[in-house]
Structure 1
Amino acid sequence: MDTERVDDVIRVRYGNYASAVGTLLFPAAVAFMVFQGLTSSDTFSWVLWWIGTVGLLVSGAVRDVRQVRGLTLDVDGITWHLVELFIPWAQVTALEVDSGVKGSGKPHLIVRTTDPEEALLGRRGLARFIISGNIKQFAGPIAVKAHLLASPPEEVIAVADRLREAPAAPSTPAGDARRTRRTRARRIAGYWDFAAAVAVVAMALSVLTR
């Protein structure tokens, strides 16, 4: 299995940095189009443009790094790093590959849960939009393109099934450390999503104030 294994933690990377960089082309194109409409006298608009451009590119790069981190499976549950969504095994009913979802293109690895809407609790902005979109289209909060996983989806499913069937792990310092890292990662991801929202507003205002 082409994954990184550390103790009881298994990390499955997703895609690659080359493909992730492609997602930065959209904010770069938006910034360029707005740039063409600015003049040297639009000082305030220039400030907003710089804030918007830097914010969109940096937050986009951070999001791409999270996306490449893919999935982490441990004794506690599964984490999707794009939005830092953690789901404990007690809530997971199945992992399956579904190629029959309308409009989804290539087959997706989908994480089914007892209550998909629970994944939306406390989520805002882009993270909520992405998770909600998965629930509507795939009936599961986590859905990733199977062919972009660093390991065959069947192997990921086999590992998940083994971890799901294992007895509940007792509280240990290592487990407490994992929970702390997950909480911190989710909080930081929320900050970056907020920064992206601010950047979008700044870019829009740079157009309205020129």
Structure 2
Amino acid sequence: MDSARIDGSSEATLRVRYRDYGIWWNVLLIVVILGSRFFGAASFASSFSSVVWVAGTLLFLVSGLVMALRTRRGLTLDADGITWHQVELFIPWSQVTEVDVDTNVKGSGKPNLIVRTAEPAEALEGRRGLARFVIRASTDQYGGPIAVKAHLLAVPADAVTAAADRLRQSAGDVRDTRRERAAGAADFWDTAGLAGLVASLAAIVIPALF
């Protein structure tokens, strides 16, 4: 599959892969850190805390891998709007005020592609868990609900901004149940992963206190 392509003629769609492999390593690193408490423990198989740890860690691992796969999908731009697949956030073009590359954003050493909106808080409506945190952090730090590192996009950021400018000409406020289901599924897995992480940490910390 191409890293970026335009499909169709009347309703062009640009799909841009995002080459952020760090999230894969972060998930595996956390799993290894969590597991170091139990590796080699003689009572691993029969300990209740070990069972809780296994369940929680597996849940976190699956959730993390699902997010990594979503992150790899990057961005999708079509006639209706732009979708950030890491958190399955869809923003119709009617709400987008600008798509630009900011080389002077605080807390970042590399340029970021930023999608700015008139009302950034609207991107948080109906979202929960980790997705809500990520969207809010992006807005606070970069000034837009969608912000990705430009050098990790599979195509030049200028090509993405040019496509956004073209597609915004047919802006519309679109409600798509498929996108809503995708966002709901993302929220579910992110919340499940957070619950798994909390359970794993509890299985490690609580027994150590007693």
- TM-score w.r.t. structure 1 length? 0.88
Gaps of 5+ in 2: none
How far does the alpha carbon of each residue in 1:41-81 deviate from its partner, in whole angstroms, 9 at most, with x for none? 76110111101211111111000000000000011100000
**Residues 95 and 117 of structure 2 are in contact (CA less than 8 Å); yes or no, is this contact kept in structure 1?**
yes
Partner of 1:197: 194
Q: Are residues 64 and 28 of structure 1, via their aligned partners in 2, closer, same or farther at CA, if it must alter by over 3 Å? A: same
**Residues 38 and 45 of structure 1 are in contact (CA less than 8 Å); yes or no, is this contact kept in structure 2?**
no
Partner of 2:7: 6
**Residues 27 and 56 of structure 1 are in contact (CA less than 8 Å); yes or no, is this contact kept in structure 2?**
no
- 1:31-42 aligned within 5 A: 31-36=34-39, 40=43
CA distance, structure 2, for counterparts of residue 201 and residue 22 of structure 1:
20
- 1:53-202 aligned within 5 A: 53-166=57-170, 168=172, 179-202=176-199
Gaps of 5+ in 1: 170-174
Q: Are residues 114 and 55 of structure 1, via their aligned partners in 2, closer, same or farther at CA, if it must alter by over 3 Å? A: same
Percent identity, aligned pairs only?
A: 50
CA distance, structure 2, for counterparts of residue 67 and residue 141 of structure 1:
15
Aligned partner letter, 1:119: A
CA distance, structure 1, for counterparts of residue 119 and residue 79 of structure 2:
20
CA distance, structure 1, for counterparts of residue 39 and residue 82 of structure 2:
45
**Residues 34 and 201 of structure 2 are in contact (CA less than 8 Å); yes or no, is this contact kept in structure 1?**
no
RMSD value over aligned CA atoms? 2.2
How far does the alpha carbon of each residue in 1:124-175 deviate from its partner, in whole angstroms, 9 at most, with x for none? 1110111111111111000000000011010100000001113649xxxxx8
Q: 2:32 aligns with which of 12, 24, 29?
A: 29
SS in 2 for 1:10: strand
- TM-score w.r.t. structure 2 length? 0.88
Aligned partner letter, 2:6: R
How far does the alpha carbon of each residue in 1:69-120 deviate from its partner, in whole angstroms, 9 at most, with x for none? 0000011100000000000000000111111112112110000100111111
**Residues 52 and 203 of structure 2 are in contact (CA less than 8 Å); yes or no, is this contact kept in structure 1?**
yes
Aligned residues: 202
SS in 2 for 1:160: helix
Q: Which has the higher helix share?
A: 1
SS in 1 for 2:155: coil
